[in-house]
């Protein structure tokens, strides 16, 4: 995509975030914009970084590793936001600033073990399957507190918050209902003051629903096609 289009798209997204934040009585500066870069060429990502987006989300471990050096040198903070398989954990430790998609105790345990071996502490978000979809990863809402409490005992990871992906294709009111439920869960668990848990990040909202997410309390939106256009599969 042409550089000017990426810059214009980022400006439009930021304006929508600001309007939604104002409507919700929030400060737009409290909402972080992440550019989701699955299949996006590195040159386009660097254009987005030059336009002020320094938070990058990659879905795939291999793609993150391929782009890591170039994006890190440009000052980007790179998060893994896609499903993480246990046999790929060792490859990502020390490469991603945060793993947003911790969807099981087993994955958390593996991240902890590999982080300890590397002499690192890895920041994570706990993924919640807010709608209970069989096709989606993540903890059921009613299991999330217990899961976070268990994960908090691992010493080489830090729980920094939660993330979710609501059902695709729901109408705006239904989508807001899921985001609202996620916000309530987030506030409730944040208030428990669990040791080694610092729930400050609520990562929810993508290109089709980030306005609703901001209205319902998201602190980080993950935007791909609204910045880079339709995804190009090779």
Class of domain 3-228: alpha beta
Is pLDDT above 90 for 115?
yes
User: Which pLDDT belongs to residue 232?
Assistant: 67
Sequence-separated (6 or more) residues with CB below 8 Å from residue 146 = none
Digit-coded pLDDT (tens) for 53-101: 999 999 999 999 999 999 999 999 999 999 999 999 999 999 999 999 9
User: Which pLDDT belongs to residue 136?
Assistant: 87
Is pLDDT above 70 for 9?
yes
User: Which pLDDT belongs to residue 52?
Assistant: 95
Integer Cα distance of 217 and 4 in angstroms:
30
Q: What is the DSSP string of 188-224?
A: HHHTT--TTEEEEEEE---TTTHHHHHHTT-SEEEES
Mean pLDDT, residues 193-210 taken together: 95
Residues in the chain: 234
Q: What is the DSSP string of 96-156?
A: -SEEEEE-SHHHHHHHHHHHHHHT--EEEEEEE-TT--TTS-SB-HHHHHHHHHHHTT-SS
Digit-coded pLDDT (tens) for 143-197: 999 999 999 999 999 999 999 999 887 788 999 999 999 999 999 999 998 998 9
């Amino acid at each position: 995509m042409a550089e000017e289009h990426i810059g214009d798209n980022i400006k439009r997204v930021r304006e929508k975030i600001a309007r939604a934040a104002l409507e919700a009585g929030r400060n737009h500066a409290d909402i972080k914009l992440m550019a989701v870069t699955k299949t996006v060429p590195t040159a386009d990502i660097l254009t987005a970084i030059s336009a002020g987006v320094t938070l990058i989300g990659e879905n795939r471990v291999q793609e993150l590793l391929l782009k890591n050096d170039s994006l890190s040198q440009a000052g980007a903070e790179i998060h893994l936001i896609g499903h993480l398989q246990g046999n790929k954990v060792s490859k990502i430790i020390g490469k991603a600033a945060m793993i947003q998609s911790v969807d099981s105790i087993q994955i958390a345990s593996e991240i902890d073990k590999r982080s300890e071996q590397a002499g690192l502490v890895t920041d994570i978000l706990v993924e919640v399957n807010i709608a209970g979809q069989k096709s989606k990863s993540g903890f059921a809402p009613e299991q999330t507190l217990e899961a976070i409490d268990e994960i908090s005992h691992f010493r080489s990871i830090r729980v920094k918050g939660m993330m979710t992906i609501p059902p695709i294709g729901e109408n705006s009111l239904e989508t807001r209902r899921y985001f609202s439920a996620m916000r309530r869960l987030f506030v409730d668990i944040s208030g428990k003051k669990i040791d080694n848990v610092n729930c400050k990040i609520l990562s929810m909202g993508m290109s089709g629903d980030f306005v609703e997410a901001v209205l319902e309390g998201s602190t980080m939106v993950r935007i791909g096609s609204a910045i880079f256009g339709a995804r190009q599969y090779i």
